[in-house]
Structure 1
């Protein structure tokens, strides 16, 4: 099926706020703010930030702190977490945080939830110090969180009468995030929206989203129909050659993550070009590239539409780790132009 004959798709942003080589975490946060403002004008639907701990290449670890800053710097785009790693925290406190965000920015807050640790074991130990955490309780935590946000804890619940302040009439959108079939099963059972982290490179994503869509059970409080999306890594430039050149930074970054030689920053293209790759390194990069979308606007649009069809989703979040900030914003601009988003948002 040609791109012209496929249904259109909504596009959003997943920003992991990488600290680029030669720049500071403060620079990265300022760049993220400018990016949010830029993509809002381009017509992107959402701007999500992730939770990772003790990773020097990432400029932050607390989405609930960064979200209000980004929401205050913008006016229309939805802002949210991709996601909050719920097993580390009290469902009650997360509900309070996101109710406050929803009260400050009504109708613009997304609460993406995950059950992964979001960091190395040492960070997990510190986050869970002096606590017993059973990740198998994650579905119960999500149920409690929904109950707090909608004043709907079941009768007999030990915190049935507890208010998750402030008392408001709206609630943030709830999404369960995952890179496995288990998260899809939980999302379908609880009746939440579901987002699959395709850019992780974990196989089984199409099966997971299909399972979710086929077995979705409305819970009476949230959306009454299934809603799914995927997050992908995409890099776009005017020419295929330039897109591949810009992608070398992320090649080296993710090579380090895959091989246990994590870099303290998003390397520049020149650093990536000069790196002494082994044959095994090049094979790993070749494998990683199979999960990436890299090319011209027409090529990127074609692949995004194909992915949307393959995964049966109506929305895609795009993660674009480019070292040069102007080239990064230009990548999103080219994709927006290819999809006609600029005209639609004008």
Structure 2
């Protein structure tokens, strides 16, 4: 039976505020918890008009307090901006408060403009050096999480507090094969962002599995794939609502991060020939349709990646649209049977 999870980016739709978007994330997590979803992740973006989630650790603490069963995680913490030690302490704190429910997803993307990245790291920071240091940062992070900092290391003897028995599940996230390489070398789980890059993900996951090195985190490789989904009662309704996703992705490609437009606003947008080509190409990053169509396409996607779990970015302008998507998916995949 296919497991389903959710990545929610706290999108800010036109006519709504950042505070509204965060409340919508809380409501979606509570619904996913009741419906039987496996995990619920939140993202990290900075200086963005269209995305409200800038601090996943803080948001996760609220979500954990307001849900009962579902795993919660970051999708993901942008590690090059931060100290590995501080990230380890933040997620050990979450694990101590909510044992067995915390995922630590990490990525190496900037999550904003280079100028914003300098504000995060310090104005004198070398952004390229941060990316080059990423593998070493991952090693340090895992050492702190598992109390396995090697003898002779500059951080030998330093332990991340609070000291707890459990370890958050660690995932590396990416839209290219390079993140899969890092995940396999670290013995971490790997999530491919098909919603960002609709090509090459299957090969990236195969390569991750073939080169995986067992670790204190995982004895065998664990992978999942994340994709945009919009499900409605009919295909016609789904296509009408999906115009908001089409336009949002197109505008992000153009560097316009203004948030999610309504289907009516999308219908009034003047699309160039290049825009139309991008709309068609970007559909490879989405699954749109009625419950039967969406179920079939998601099963095909999972089969192509050889995974037993698919992570959904529920798309749409209104929170009710995103909520209805995950309700229909829960029914189509009988998630109630997976509840523990």
Same fold (TM over 0.5): yes
Gaps of 5+ in 2: none
* Corresponding residue to 1:141 among 137, 141, 145: 137
Which structure 1 residue ranges, 4+ long, deviate > 6 Å from structure 2?
none
Q: Deviations over 1:278-301 (max 9, x none)?
A: 222122111111221000111111
**Distance in 2 between residues matched to 1:134 and 1:113, nearest whole Å:** 14
**Distance in 2 between residues matched to 1:148 and 1:328, nearest whole Å:** 37
* Corresponding residue to 1:322 among 302, 316, 321: 316
The answer (yes or no) to whether the contact 1:175–1:192 under 8 Å persists in 2 is yes
Partner of 1:178: 174
Partner of 2:148: 152
* Corresponding residue to 1:228 among 220, 223, 228: 223
* Structure 1 residue 345: Cα displacement: 3.1
The answer (yes or no) to whether the contact 1:17–1:32 under 8 Å persists in 2 is yes
Partner of 1:102: 95
Of stretches 30-39 and 124-133 in structure 1, the one that deviates more from structure 2 is 124-133
* Corresponding residue to 1:297 among 291, 316, 328: 291
Partner of 2:21: 28
Q: Secondary structure at the match of 1:222?
A: coil
Gaps of 5+ in 1: 1-7
The answer (yes or no) to whether the contact 1:180–1:202 under 8 Å persists in 2 is no
Q: Aligned-residue CA RMSD in angstroms?
A: 1.3
* Corresponding residue to 1:239 among 218, 234, 243: 234
Aligned ranges for residues 21-100 of structure 1 at < 5 Å? Answer: 21-100=14-93
**Distance in 2 between residues matched to 1:163 and 1:259, nearest whole Å:** 44
Partner of 1:337: 331
**Distance in 2 between residues matched to 1:297 and 1:272, nearest whole Å:** 24
**Distance in 2 between residues matched to 1:252 and 1:87, nearest whole Å:** 30
The answer (yes or no) to whether the contact 2:198–2:285 under 8 Å persists in 1 is no
| Correspondence 1:284 to 2:278 | yes
Partner of 2:246: 251
The answer (yes or no) to whether the contact 1:112–1:174 under 8 Å persists in 2 is yes
**Distance in 2 between residues matched to 1:60 and 1:103, nearest whole Å:** 23
Partner of 2:4: 11
**Distance in 2 between residues matched to 1:216 and 1:344, nearest whole Å:** 28
**Distance in 1 between residues matched to 2:52 and 2:135, nearest whole Å:** 30
**Distance in 2 between residues matched to 1:175 and 1:225, nearest whole Å:** 13
Partner of 2:160: 164
* Structure 1 residue 269: Cα displacement: 1.1
The answer (yes or no) to whether the contact 2:48–2:257 under 8 Å persists in 1 is no
Partner of 2:267: 273
The 1:141/1:263 distance shift into structure 2, 3 A limit, reads closer
Q: Deviations over 1:126-148 (max 9, x none)?
A: 11213344312211111111111
Aligned ranges for residues 97-136 of structure 1 at < 5 Å? Answer: 97-129=90-122, 130-132=124-126, 133-136=129-132
The 1:263/1:151 distance shift into structure 2, 3 A limit, reads closer
Q: Deviations over 1:188-219 (max 9, x none)?
A: 11111011001102521111000011111102
Q: Secondary structure at the match of 1:310?
A: helix
Report the number of matched residues: 337
* Structure 1 residue 321: Cα displacement: 2.1
* Structure 1 residue 263: Cα displacement: 4.0
The answer (yes or no) to whether the contact 1:184–1:209 under 8 Å persists in 2 is yes
